[in-house]
Chain A
């Protein structure tokens, strides 16, 4: 439904024209990536607070989803940059670089995780790492607003929604809700798969 609205219902943006429609996929995907990383940090905090190792798998799965949505953010952002600015990437733009740093930070999470033997130590180390990464989210998010020499568009400022027409805001909200639901479904499926995998490994050890 979001796609149909984005392509056939919303009017072209005054300055950007048709290419502004990438906004309806790029921004929801980026915000979903932030949400996944935030969720991973929340589960990591629960693990450290409650000393309950079952949160380890939940935090890991959320990072996994966040990295997938992070890739999509980088690719769609790059395509938007190409059509709007004429370049695929701009190292001079702090917000792009900060998102890349955030993405690489969470990509390195997997290297850390698989360099340590499974067990409580690995769970605690992964949780601390996931928790540290969440600090980068507000930095990355605010960089879009604080950066000087801005070329990255700001859609939501203090007067929320003021830069979007009603139809654009509605389409954006529908696309964002759809992306969040998609991420939640993928998270639930992936988590179930990982749990089954873990149970099967335990069963194999018990039977052998």
Chain B
């Protein structure tokens, strides 16, 4: 492999490496977004269940010993 061929190959490989690095970073970002979306969905589900749950009757406490 001549010197020129090495440099040309290096130039193309650098572009490929930067793009791959970008894709890896973007994949991490996507997984973070997915995790956050799942947390928010869980939070919303708990809140909905808390709203649906019946209020404790005030008499029940008075009867209890």
Residues of A within 8 A of B (CB): 3, 17-19, 21-22, 25-26, 29, 68, 71-72, 75-76, 79-80, 82-83, 182, 186, 189-190, 193, 196-197, 200, 203-204, 207
Contacts and interface: CB of A to CB of B under 8 A. Distances in A.
B52 to A, nearest CB: 17
17 contacts: A18-B4, A19-B7, A22-B8, A72-B15, A72-B18, A76-B14, A79-B10, A82-B7, A83-B8, A186-B22, A196-B33, A196-B37, A200-B33, A200-B36, A203-B40, A207-B43, A207-B47
Interface in B25-48: 26, 29-30, 33, 36-37, 40, 43-44, 47
Contacts of A72: 14-15, 18
- Nearest 10 A-B pairs (CB), nearest first? A83-B7, A19-B4, A18-B4, A79-B11, A76-B11, A22-B11, A21-B8, A200-B36, A75-B14, A207-B43
Nearest to B36: A200
